Amino acid sequence: MTSGAGAPVSVVTGAGSGVGRVVARALLDAGHRVALAGRREDALAGTADGVPADRVLVVPTDVTVEASVDALFAAVRERWGRVDVLFNNAGTNVPATPFEDFTADQWSTVVGTNLTGSFLCARAAFRVMREQDPRGGRIINNGSVSAHAPRPGAVAYTASKHAITGLTRAISLEGRRHRIACGQIDIGNAATRMTGRMAAGVPQADGSTAAEPTMDVAHVADAVRYMVGLPLEANVQFLTVMATAMPFIGRG
């Protein structure tokens, strides 16, 4: 199948809730066929609710398991013949923990999902994009403002998101010869269930606790749609979208 034979095909990981759900629905609204990947089938079904069956594919996936990721992309390729976009969004964190108390299991949990999972999904997408006709595609990695500045008690999350920046650059370099573009969106305080705690107050670099402003997660979806809508000859390498007044610029 060529891109001219149907709507673009996008894969969204972490599509069962939060940013992933909102972006997936935005891509569906933009006319894409979308594969929804995540751990919980019921949550993915909620994202797919009301969408015609020929435009959505629900694939329960554990991004930390190589065979599960490979099965996801095999299912997408069998259903629609290609992959035009990967929104590499699946991620996790653990409760804030002082550096000296952070356990190896906590580290492995966060890095395994945020970094290794992103690598496995990007590699699988890259392989499909390299071989399909027409060749090429776009990979968008979900970074974070934590790819630039840490929060207290979040060593694994911070390290994993800094590493996503290196992954993005490496994919961008190696994708050139295959018409594979790769960019990164760094999100700050989008209002989702995960950021609900911001209103109650979160630890600050000076040791205080303070509420932080958030923004509508729809603005993240708008930004991703812009990145996706560019021709492969153009790329947004890095884009930061954040609540204007959040303590990021000048953090600490």
Catalytic positions, please? Answer: 157
Structure letter (DSSP) for residue 114: I
Residue 195 neighbours by CB distance under 10 Å: 20
Check: CB of residue 187 under 8 Å from CB of residue 144: yes
Instruction: From 132, 119, 117, select the one nearest 180 (Cα to Cα).
Output: 132
| Ramachandran area for residue 247 (φ above 0: left; ψ -120 to 50: alpha; else beta) | beta
Identity of the amino acid at 16: G
Q: Is residue 80 within 8 Å of 33, Cβ to Cβ?
A: yes
Question: Is-contact 96 103, C-beta < 8 A?
Answer: no
The distance in angstroms from the start CA to the end CA of the chain is 51
